[in-house]
Amino acid sequence: MKRMNPTVAKITESAAIAAVYIVLTVVFAPISFGPMQLRIAEILTILPMFTPSAVPGLFIGCIFANLFGGAVALDIVFGSIATLLGAAGSRLLRKNRWLVPLPAIAANTVIVPFVLRYGYGIDTPLLLLALYVCIGEILGCYVLGELFASVLLKRREIFRESGPQ
């Protein structure tokens, strides 16, 4: 069997991650958006631990999920930048499984409250919005993400590059 071009393989892997992020966000749209949100797609934020293709995949997935979910322009831009920063940070921390979710939680906790306030006009205090976002991110990234990571660590042959030992 002929081996796939490595560049094409990375692009394909990123596209697949983006597609899953979009589907999870749109299918669970009622809880994916708003001041109190649990974006189930955040389970995927542990994927940079396994493959660098997850960084652009999560970023592109977030852009399109926000577009399809009816998000305002500010959310499409800055919400997606938060995801990119979180994914890049997670990639840098890939050697420590327990630190991997932290960048996504931090980036969203800092950026998304401003998006909710200035993009959607939600007049809840910024610190309370940050708390709401942080709780949703902890549930998505740590609780669900760690369950997902446990499964993937048992099946690490799925990815060309292995995660933490």
Q: In the chain, helix, strand, coil percent, each to 5?
A: 75, 0, 25
Q: Is residue 145 part of a domain?
A: yes
Q: Is residue 134 part of a domain?
A: yes
> Which residue type, as a one-letter code, is found at position 110?
V
Angle subtended at Cα 88 by Cα 100 and Cα 145, rounded to the nearest 5 degrees: 35
Structural domains in the chain (count): 1
Q: Is residue 82 part of a domain?
A: yes
Calpha distance 112→137 (Å, rounded): 11
**Residue 148 clears pLDDT 80, i.e. is over it:** yes
Residue 41 confidence (pLDDT): 97
Q: What is the pLDDT of residues 28-81, one digit of tens each?
A: 999 999 999 999 999 999 999 999 999 999 999 999 999 999 999 999 999 999
Q: Is residue 80 part of a domain?
A: yes
Q: How confident is the model at residue 4 (pLDDT cuts 50, 70, 90)?
A: confident
Q: Is residue 91 part of a domain?
A: yes
Calpha distance 113→132 (Å, rounded): 9
Q: Domain containing 77: what range?
A: 6-28+39-158
Q: Is residue 1 part of a domain?
A: no
Q: Is residue 164 part of a domain?
A: no
pTM of this prediction?
0.91
Q: How confident is the model at residue 160 (pLDDT cuts 50, 70, 90)?
A: low
Collapse the DSSP code of 135 into the 3-class scheme (helix H, G, I; strand E, B; otherwise coil) and give the result.
Answer: helix
Calpha distance 91→81 (Å, rounded): 15
Q: Is residue 17 part of a domain?
A: yes
